[in-house]
Amino acid sequence: MEIPELKKIFLDTFGDDGKELRAFEAPGRVNLIGEHIDYCGGCVLPMALGMKTTLIARRRRDNVLRLKATDLDVTVETDIEKIEELCGKLFWGEYQLGTALELIKDGYDLCGCDLLYHDTVPHGSGLSSSAATEVSTALALSKLSGKETDMIKLARISQMAEKNFVGVECGIMDQFASAMGKRGHAIFLDCKTLSYEYIPLDIDGYKIVITNTNVKHALGSSEYNERRRECREGLSGFMRAMSDISELSEVSPEAFEENKGLIKNLTTQKRVRHIVYECERVKLAAGALKSRDLALFGELMNKSHESLRDDYEVSCPELDFIVKEGQKLNGVLGVRMTGGGFGGCAVALVGGDAADNYIDRISRGYREKFSRDATFYITEAEDGAHEVFI
């Protein structure tokens, strides 16, 4: 749906009071490698997608926020001073109101606004529809309130909204990628320091193919927060021998092998093993991308999925099928689950002339095995959140 059509829907929904409409966009993201390590201070390698949240916004004369989505009948309305009263009570709108609340906590003097949302990021897919919603909201509210826009700061505020208002103890990667994406580039991001580097996605005719299992995850009610707890437990164990560390990302593979006996719970030990070796894989993958060693990059993707399946246990039968079958096909360098897991998407690095065969073979096999269809997206890296001047 293009901006002119969204403007018409906005005016049909909220009326025309003669005030200027403004438009904002924030993308979803796919993480090429580095899963479940952002909240342990690790480095990750995401890219922003063309799938996005588009937001049409207009400043109001009062202190009211009104929210509407193009695909839902519900309209959410609240006084800015009463946002916190709605925590945990909404069918839809918590990501937006949580972001508004965190902006207020950070000192933003918000104005009343009418906000219309249109999403093309599939919900529950692991492609960060929530981050796209949060970041687009943060950008729109800050701009309409006349505040200077610091996109990294807005990414942090968006992360806090998901943690404090929605209840998911997420890391910073999703919101950072949505805020700071760059067309044609992946982001090599240190989630502890927020230092980052744009790496050109010069992939020599290969394509990034995302396969959506259409098994929806709900991270707020899944085992996501349990993994966070297990990581904290593992960090406490290692700090008995390595008092100078503050994050699991600081534990090298060698140090892990030497001190893993400090973690008596074998399940927790497996979780930590994934974190430690996944951090190492991301660093190697960034180097492989810079040197255009795509075979190595694909091999690291495959190892990442194996670790997520066996050590971190966040995969599912549908994801494992896509990865296993994809890895058998000519022209496929690597396949792995991406996102929080328990459903959602897999991402593959596929030769351009092999992409159609990959989609056909996976599609037919998936339908036969699971009696449902997978959805496929051939995607490129796009820009992060921005205002669209209309």
Please report the DSSP string for 295-328 in residue order: HHHHHHHHHHHHHHHHTS----HHHHHHHHHHHT
Mean of pLDDT values over 351-372: 96
DSSP-assigned letter for residue 121: S
Could you give phi then psi for residue 376, rounded to 5 degrees? -120, 140
Euclidean distance between CA atoms 142 and 258, whole angstroms: 49
pLDDT of 221 over the 70 cut: no
pLDDT of 48 over the 60 cut: yes
Percentage of the residues of the chain whose pLDDT score is greater than 90 = 85
Euclidean distance between CA atoms 180 and 194, whole angstroms: 11
> Which strands sit side by side in the sheet containing 196-200, from one edge to the other?
43-44, 185-190, 196-200
Q: What is the pLDDT of residue 219?
A: 52
Euclidean distance between CA atoms 141 and 382, whole angstroms: 23
What are the structure tokens assigned to 164, written together? 């404090």
Q: What is the pLDDT of residue 165?
A: 82
Euclidean distance between CA atoms 262 and 223, whole angstroms: 24
Euclidean distance between CA atoms 243 and 359, whole angstroms: 49
The CATH architecture annotation of domain 3-199+383-388 reads 2-Layer Sandwich (3.30)
Euclidean distance between CA atoms 347 and 223, whole angstroms: 22
Closest CA to 256 of 233, 281, 276: 276
**Whole-structure pTM value:** 0.93
Q: What is the pLDDT of residue 91?
A: 85
Bridge partner list, 332: 350
Q: What is the pLDDT of residue 222?
A: 64
Pick from 116-125, 212-221, 356-365: least confident: 212-221
Condensed to tens digits (0 to 9), the pLDDT of residues 255-294 reads 999 999 999 999 999 999 999 999 999 999 999 999 999 9
What are the structure tokens assigned to 263, written together? 């973690």
Condensed to tens digits (0 to 9), the pLDDT of residues 51-73 reads 999 999 999 999 999 999 999 99
Cβ atoms 127, 30 nearer than 8 A:
yes
Mean of pLDDT values over 202-210: 94
Bridge partner list, 299: none
> Which residues, 6+ apart, have CB-to-CB distance to 293 below 8 Å?
287
Confidence of residue 218 (pLDDT cuts 50, 70, 90): low
Give catalytic residues, as residue numbers.
174
What are the structure tokens assigned to 175, written together? 């919101």
Confidence of residue 220 (pLDDT cuts 50, 70, 90): very low
Q: What is the pLDDT of residue 19?
A: 78
- DSSP E strands, the chain: 22-31, 43-44, 46-59, 64-69, 75-79, 113-119, 185-190, 196-200, 206-212, 332-338, 345-351, 375-379, 386-388
Closest CA to 338 of 301, 312, 374: 301
pLDDT of 212 over the 70 cut: yes
Confidence of residue 217 (pLDDT cuts 50, 70, 90): low
Euclidean distance between CA atoms 192 and 44, whole angstroms: 11
Mean of pLDDT values over 230-243: 92
147 burial level (CB within 10 Å; 0-12, 13-18, 19+): middle
Percentage of the residues of the chain whose pLDDT score is greater than 70 = 98
Closest CA to 379 of 132, 119, 47: 47
CA distances from 268 to 3, 226, 245, 359, 386 (A): 48, 11, 18, 37, 41
When the pLDDT of each residue in the chain is averaged and rounded to a whole number, the result is 94
Q: What is the pLDDT of residue 225?
A: 82
Q: What is the pLDDT of residue 100?
A: 96
Alpha carbon 34 to chain centroid, angstroms:
12
Euclidean distance between CA atoms 330 and 333, whole angstroms: 8
Closest CA to 276 of 292, 290, 263, 295: 263
Largest CA distance in the chain: 68
* Domain layout of the chain by residue ranges: 3-199+383-388
Euclidean distance between CA atoms 80 and 110, whole angstroms: 8
